[in-house]
A and B are shown apart, each in its own frame.
Chain A
């Protein structure tokens, strides 16, 4: 199960037939395992890793540190519930250390992100402070290295 998940996390395009070969199982068995993992919410979805810098699309990513005042009745989870449903937000993590949440956010421009923080995030009840950090360049995301070398460094004449 763990091996199957590790392989799918690395490459979601692997077909059940390929996974069967890689894990020495029957294709049907793999299909059943995946169906079960999807049904019980272990597999939450399949997405594509896009290097948007290769396109004309304008975008900016930001990482925002958020400090909050925990609520008596629901602790951090209740505050997280309010933040996570904002559609602009791509990631939300409860942190140890000097602040409470990390929010990952994508906007069209820095201004848009700044407005979002000022108008939607900071005013939330219990949020006591925010610090916005803009991403300047992505080198690696979700285990995938960006800017892969285009040329195969191996000598094609060596057999």
Chain B
């Protein structure tokens, strides 16, 4: 009989499934649950964007596009990056279209990593960087960011972790799951550490449109950083287009042309209909983004205040659509807290440890839900907290 164990690549075998598998198994088995777990918008892609794809299909545009994506979409991305973030990337040689932000991250990592290279990853963060870095042969170097610093990577923490082997820094801001956004001064401080090194920055800016009360600033716009920055971004979060699998990479042409080789052989091109939709989104979608941003912002306030009333504190999130409250004061681990909340109140939130060890004591709550749903979940959480207090836990 065939022995699969001897066949799989060692790096794949050593890639662990999510650390909170048990919690997920539990969640999968529960039927009717008030979930605040989902990491994607609750909005449907605006109709005019869907229509652009429908039209492209009606017109029979079902062929491959150029590897880098259609000329029109790349031009749109280039002018969008300039219009929104003051960045200058040549449409022809410094931008290419990917299958979602996920491919962009994978391509960027695999294009640079040699076995043993170190990739610095500030956590808590989205789950993909560490396994993808490992699959590329890198040694992930984790920085545990702290709530006291607003979950932001600090220049000192970064400096401490840099070695001769450091190849890349992942900069995942606006951050999932904490909602942290880096300000100009904070980016300047990080840039100061990087200047003069040979370290590449992979800036995951997928939530760039979803910041509240302040504009997202790309590290590429900080002096001296453009030459070492790869921007990975996409359409999923800003335009509610998760299922379209459409993203992009922007980087200096010397980097981009090399990365394109990988994309060309592994992917060929991003889905054509999605590219037509993406062009329409960037051309005509500003008002949609503005509306969705305002909606998230209102929910952000409601959930922050709602949790505070129950006695649960959080760092006020400034971006994305998550809040990362402290739930560690009840003598339960994050996973225990979330499991009991799920069992006893049928309310689901994600244990902070899903996003790295630094998330112990915290949980991620998504507010990409209607306010009615959020209200229902908050009342369940409130009842659960009362119960924990009655057990003599917490204050």
Contacts and interface: CB of A to CB of B under 8 A. Distances in A.
Contacts of B127: 159
A7 interface: yes
Q: Which of A24, A155, A159 has the most chain B CB within a 10 Å cutoff?
A: A159
Given A152-B38, A152-B42, A159 B301 contact: no
A1 to B, nearest CB: 15
A82 B354 CA distance: 67
A14 interface: yes
A21 B298 contact: yes
A18 B37 contact: no
A157 interface: yes
A95 to B, nearest CB: 27
Nearest to B293: A22
A26 to B, nearest CB: 13
Nearest to A151: B32
A18 B37 CA distance: 23
Interface string A138-159: 0000000000000010111111
A62 to B, nearest CB: 30
A18 B301 contact: yes
A25 to B, nearest CB: 12
Contacts of B33: 156
B367 to A, nearest CB: 13
A17 interface: yes
A155 B28 CA distance: 10
Interface in B205-229: 212-213
A157 B294 contact: no
Interface in B275-307: 294-295, 297-298, 300-302
Contact of A21 (B40, B297, B350): B297
Given A156-B33, A156-B38, A159-B127, A23 B294 contact: yes
A152 B39 contact: no
Nearest to B39: A159
A17 B298 CA distance: 9
B27 interface: yes
A21 B301 contact: yes
B298 A22 contact: yes
Interface residues of A, number: 15
A93 to B, nearest CB: 25
Nearest to B20: A159
Given A18-B301, A24-B213, A159 B350 contact: yes
Contact of B40 (A17, A23, A158): A158
B28 A157 contact: yes
Contacts of A21: 212, 297-298, 300-301
Interface in B321-372: 348, 350, 354, 364, 369
Main SS of the interface on chain B? mixed
A14 B298 contact: yes
Contacts of B298: 14, 18, 21-22
A50 to B, nearest CB: 16
A151 to B, nearest CB: 10
Contacts of B27: 156-157
Nearest to B300: A21
Given A17-B301, A21-B297, A158 B213 contact: no
B64 interface: no
B35 interface: yes
A157 B42 contact: no
B40 A154 contact: yes
Contacts of A23: 294
Nearest to B36: A156
A157 B294 CA distance: 26
Contacts of A17: 301
A16 to B, nearest CB: 12
B248 to A, nearest CB: 22
A157 B37 contact: yes
Contacts of B297: 21-22
A22 B294 contact: yes
Contacts of B24: 157
A23 B295 CA distance: 10
25 contacts: A7-B294, A18-B298, A18-B301, A18-B302, A21-B298, A21-B300, A21-B301, A22-B297, A22-B298, A152-B38, A152-B42, A152-B369, A154-B40, A156-B35, A156-B38, A156-B348, A157-B24, A157-B28, A157-B37, A158-B39, A158-B40, A159-B38, A159-B39, A159-B350, A159-B364
5 tightest A-B CB contacts, nearest first: A22-B294, A156-B35, A18-B298, A154-B38, A21-B301
Interface of B: 24, 27-28, 33, 35, 37-40, 42, 127, 212-213, 294-295, 297-298, 300-302, 348, 350, 354, 364, 369
Interface of A: 7, 14, 17-18, 21-24, 152, 154-159
Given A21-B212, A154-B38, A159-B127, 15 more contacts: A7-B294, A18-B302, A21-B297, A22-B294, A22-B298, A23-B294, A24-B213, A152-B35, A152-B38, A152-B42, A154-B40, A154-B42, A156-B37, A158-B39, A159-B354
